[in-house]
Amino acid sequence: MKPKSHIVDLPVYLPGKPIEDVKRELGLKEVIKLASNENPFGASPLVKEAIIKEIDNISLYPDGGAVELTKDLAQYLGVQPNQIIFGCGSDEIIALITRAFFVTGDETIMADTTFSVYKSNADIEGAVTIEVPLKEGKHDLEAMLSSVSERTKVIWVCNPNNPTGTIVSKDELIAFLDQVPAEVMVVLDEAYFEYVTDHTYPDSTKLLSKYANLVVLRTFSKIYGLASLRIGYGVGQPEVIKLINQVREPFNTSRVAQAAAKVALADQAYVESCRKSNAEGIIQLQAEFDRLGLTYFPAHGNFIMVKVNRPGAEVFEALLRKGVIIRTGQAKYPEYIRVTVGSQDQNKAFIHALEQVLSEEKTPVQ
């Protein structure tokens, strides 16, 4: 069976290594995973109760429109229910946007070091990706504007950016949106929105009424701790959301995921406690990096990208053997690693292992 010619060489997304695999491969009993930006404190305790209750309905199809969850989220965000679409993680919304709007030869603009799923989905639809280099780890919005052509359909802005953790401020975003042509969609990926404490950071859902071409993506996978349940959402103008909904598969989010997300959203006290603990963890890790003489990008999500002054792949492998899973920097940042902000104890264990790795002499090539 012959596939589409343009997908043959597409890279497969590689997630952070699972804890179980590392234990089995290396014979380790204790492994810390700081690779996938998961919430180290898990979900709200109320979520478990909701999941257990929903088990009684496991034989029934979910609500295809996630009506109750949509109503609660719309009220929380201050938007209308027809402005929201749910997906199997916000990743699926990305795929649905490319499916709904791209035809072969369309152009799309993104940073050259950002969430790889934007490009892979654009590639699948035959779109041409224009990658704009980051500027000191941050989106270069002026250069992105300069790259707009009559073929441009979508501009992707990851805020905070994954993997660098930098943010675009509210003033910078508004100045950018004011200059983007009305027919070009701007997708603002805010997977780490709830972690940001910087006062200059925008609440972009408040901008939707002014910018009809704006779509905002968020998720329950990160601070809400529901990563394994795969539920995220997009918010935009009703006519845009309707078009995205037309290419959505039915029953794309489960009953369990909807029930868990509904309860997680209601427990904002738990979200605030996770945000506070994450901010403390950032300070903890940055202080240790300063002590070790390592530079890093400003961290605004629940991860930090730090320069280790040697190939990041080597540090990744060495840390793996010590039972700590992290991620390497992307191709443009070969001497960087990205580490999730863990609990205080997890952070201490990571720093201890990193310090050992960085003090080890490199094995000479025979």
Answer whether 0.75 is exceeded by the pTM: yes
Q: How confident is the model at residue 324 (pLDDT cuts 50, 70, 90)?
A: very high
Residues 19 and 167 in one domain: no
Work out the pLDDT band at 315, boundaries 50, 70, 90.
Answer: very high
The structure tokens listed for 196 are 């940001």
Establish if 366 belongs to a structural domain: no
Indicate the residue among 226, 250, 267 that finishes a domain: 267
- Calpha distance 166→111 (Å, rounded): 12
- Whether 93 is covered by a domain: the verdict is yes
pLDDT of residue 363 exceeding 50: no
How many domains are contained in the chain? Answer: 2
Do 77 and 212 sit in the same domain of this protein? yes
Q: Is there a single domain that holds both residue 91 and residue 199?
A: yes
The answer to whether residue 311 sits within a structural domain is yes
Span 95-150, pLDDT tens digits: 999 999 999 999 999 999 999 999 999 999 999 999 999 999 999 999 999 999 99
243 assigned to some structural domain? yes
Q: Give the pLDDT score at 6.
A: 57
Whether 167 is covered by a domain: the verdict is: yes
Do 187 and 204 fall into the same domain?
Answer: yes
**Residue at which a domain ends, from 228, 244, 267:** 267
Pair (57, 33) in one structural domain:
no
Is residue 66 domain-shared with residue 143, that is, in the same domain? Answer: yes
> What are 39-89's pLDDT values in tens digits?
999 999 999 999 999 999 999 999 999 999 999 999 999 999 999 999 999
**pLDDT class of 4 with cuts at 50, 70, 90:** low
Integer Cα distance of 81 and 109 in angstroms: 29
Q: Which of the listed residues 267, 282, 306 is the one where a domain comes to its end?
A: 267
Residue 73 lies in a domain: yes
Strand order in the sheet with 128-132: 84-87, 232-235, 214-219, 185-189, 152-158, 107-111, 128-132
> pLDDT by residue (tens digit) across 157-176?
999 999 999 999 999 999 99
Same domain, 37 and 164: no
CATH of the domain at 145: 3.40.640.10
User: Residue 351's domain spans which residues?
Assistant: 5-42+269-360
* Residues 50 and 184 grouped into a single domain: yes
Domain identity same for 214 and 184: yes
On whether both 20 and 52 belong to a single domain, the answer is no
- Residue 365 belongs to a domain: no
Task: For residues 194 and 280, state if they share a domain.
Answer: no
Q: Tell me, what's the pLDDT at 25?
A: 77
Give 273-284 pLDDT, tens digit per residue.
999 999 999 999
Radius of gyration of the chain from Cα atoms? 21
- Any idea what the CATH number is for the domain that residue 32 is in? 3.90.1150.10
For residue 74, give every residue at least 6 positions away whose Cβ sits within 8 Å of its Cβ, in sequence order, or none.
Answer: 80, 81, 83, 84
d(CA 119, CA 128): 9
> Would the pLDDT of 178 be above 90?
yes
Q: What is the pLDDT of residues 225-264, one digit of tens each?
A: 999 999 999 999 999 999 999 999 999 999 999 999 999 9
Name the more confident of 151 and 31. Answer: 151
Q: Tens digits of per-residue pLDDT, 5-20?
A: 555 455 554 556 678 7
Return the half-sphere exposure (C-beta side, CA atoms, 13 A cut-off) of residue 273.
Answer: 13
> 21-30, 108-117, 180-189, 268-277: which range is least confident on average?
21-30
Residues 237 and 92 in one domain: yes
